[in-house]
Amino acid sequence: MELGGGVQNPSFVGDNGASQESTQVGQGQGGRSVEGGSHPEATPRRGLTKEEKQTKLAITKNLLLISLAFTFQFTSYNSNINLQSSLNKTHGTAGMTALYIGMILSCSFLPSLAINKLKEKHTIVLCMLCFLPYMAVQVYPEVYLLVPSAFLLGLAAGPLWSAKCTYLTKGGTKYADILKEESKLTINRFFGIFFLFFQSTQVWGNVISSTVLSVGIEEEHKTAEDLIACGYHFCPWDKHADTTNTNTSAGTKEGIPQWQRYTMSGIYLGFVVLSALIVLVFVDPLESFDKGQRVEVNNKQLIVNTFNHVRHPYQLLIIPLTIWSGVEQEFLSADYTAAYVSCGLGVHMVGGTIICYGICDMLCSWGFTPLVRKLGRVPVFSFGAAVNLGVIITLRFWTPRPDDLVLFHMGGGGMDVYPPSHPHRPPSPTLPHPRIPTLNPHRIPTLPPLPPPPPPRIPTLNPPPPHPPHTHPQPRI
């Protein structure tokens, strides 16, 4: 893949071991070299051989199977996470904290080690199975079970995403080689197909939870005193802030019936096992069509390369946006679902309102890409920030009431309009994405390159023109 684009950074190292600085030597803006030549553009080739057709079909099959497996996996995960602060208001947030601590440690040290030892396919399978304990303990959500299982899930998340990204990137590169296409466009298309499946997980997961939790629900009338305790003034330990009150016909007031916990946990466990089996049985190892020599990157050098990005000023500017995006997403999954939806409507409505978030997630992920291409980043980010600020102000002064169904859905959907809340958005074909062997499983778009320096003037054999009289000759460069 071509390392075009971006401010020159010596810490960027390509697959061939060359730095971005050495790769850009002799290359000007727009893909033209200093000598005035241009890079030939790849054109699709006709008449594939039988082996190439089989490889192309295998890559397509593996792409769809991995996308389907991740859809099942994160349908259960996202639905479970959205209910933690409502169903397990005492220990659910502690478990989520342990999960993200494990994820931070995992992304820092484990991906390269796991992929080098287990290879991409088996890394994906093993990490998927690490989700099982967390899904199982939802039946008996005690802190000494939730925290360790959540921490294990977090440790598995880093290698899982890194192995998936590596598989799709190498598969897309091989696919582009067969069709003689530009590899970065093919890789972008592969990631776009994957996230077309993945972004729908919020919809399917919340349909399941909403359906299960709505069984046996009777109409509930909350007093004004109960509603005042919701929203901005919500406190999980307030006697009026009962997030698990479903008012079922069985008369359960302390939480959801146990059969609902068993039903949802059984569905979530089944989806995790199914996703792991899909990858284990039907997905081909990457080595079956990527027969090139595997280069194992030294873990120590990988960590050094990753933290060298901190020297890049644009990386420093991305970090606050990333932190804000993470804080806001956790506010949605932990605080908004408990303080607004569960407290104001009931826990059975969490899935229904977060479905709106999932739909906006899909639409914005695809809609912002052409807008950024046409309008630029600043107008799109400004629009998203304005919508996001409006939602925050509304949530500050709004007291949730059962009649405000539109506001409940808009609150979840509006949180997803802010562009940085889409870390998995398929990258735009116009943005170059250098293949940098760092610990971050996501590709970071870089800014356009600086104009190349003018070529040096080479003396010719022509004699210099005569100088006007009474003037001093100017030195020739």
Tell me the CATH number at 201: 1.20.1250.20
The yes-or-no verdict on residue 323 having pLDDT over 60 is: yes
Closest CA to 337 of 208, 178, 455, 206: 206
The band of 21, judged by pLDDT with boundaries at 50, 70 and 90, is very low
Give the whole-number percent of the chain exceeding pLDDT 70.
Answer: 68
**Residue 96 placed within a domain:** yes
Among 120-129, 140-149, 183-192, 424-433, the range of highest mean pLDDT: 120-129
CA distance 409 to 405: 6
Q: How many residues does the chain have?
A: 477
**Residue 244 placed within a domain:** yes
Amino acid at position 411, single letter: G
Pull the structure tokens for residue 236.
């999980």
**Residue 460 placed within a domain:** no
Task: Please return the burial class of 82, using the count of CB atoms within 10 Å of its CB with bins 0-12, 13-18 and 19+.
Answer: buried
Location of structure tokens 């390369």: 305
Amino acid at position 298, single letter: N
Q: In the chain, how many domains are there?
A: 1
Please state the φ and ψ torsions of residue 255, each to the nearest 5 degrees: 175, -175
**Residue 465 placed within a domain:** no
The yes-or-no verdict on residue 271 having pLDDT over 50 is: yes
**Residue 216 placed within a domain:** yes
Amino acid at position 477, single letter: I
**Residue 331 placed within a domain:** yes
- Give me the mean pLDDT over the 233-260 stretch: 59
Query: Contact, 410 vs 341, CB < 8 A?
Result: no
Q: What's the predicted TM-score (pTM) here?
A: 0.70
Residue 292 has what pLDDT? 61
pLDDT tens, 32-54? Answer: 333 333 344 455 556 788 888 99
**Residue 461 placed within a domain:** no
Residues 6+ apart with CB under 8 A from 471: none
Query: Contact, 72 vs 130, CB < 8 A?
Result: no
Please state the φ and ψ torsions of residue 157, each to the nearest 5 degrees: -65, -40
Domain hosting 307: range is: 48-288+299-421
Task: Please return the burial class of 293, using the count of CB atoms within 10 Å of its CB with bins 0-12, 13-18 and 19+.
Answer: exposed
Query: Contact, 450 vs 21, CB < 8 A?
Result: no
The band of 276, judged by pLDDT with boundaries at 50, 70 and 90, is very high
Amino acid at position 449, single letter: P
3-state secondary structure of 38: strand
**Residue 21 placed within a domain:** no
Residue 4 has what pLDDT? 37
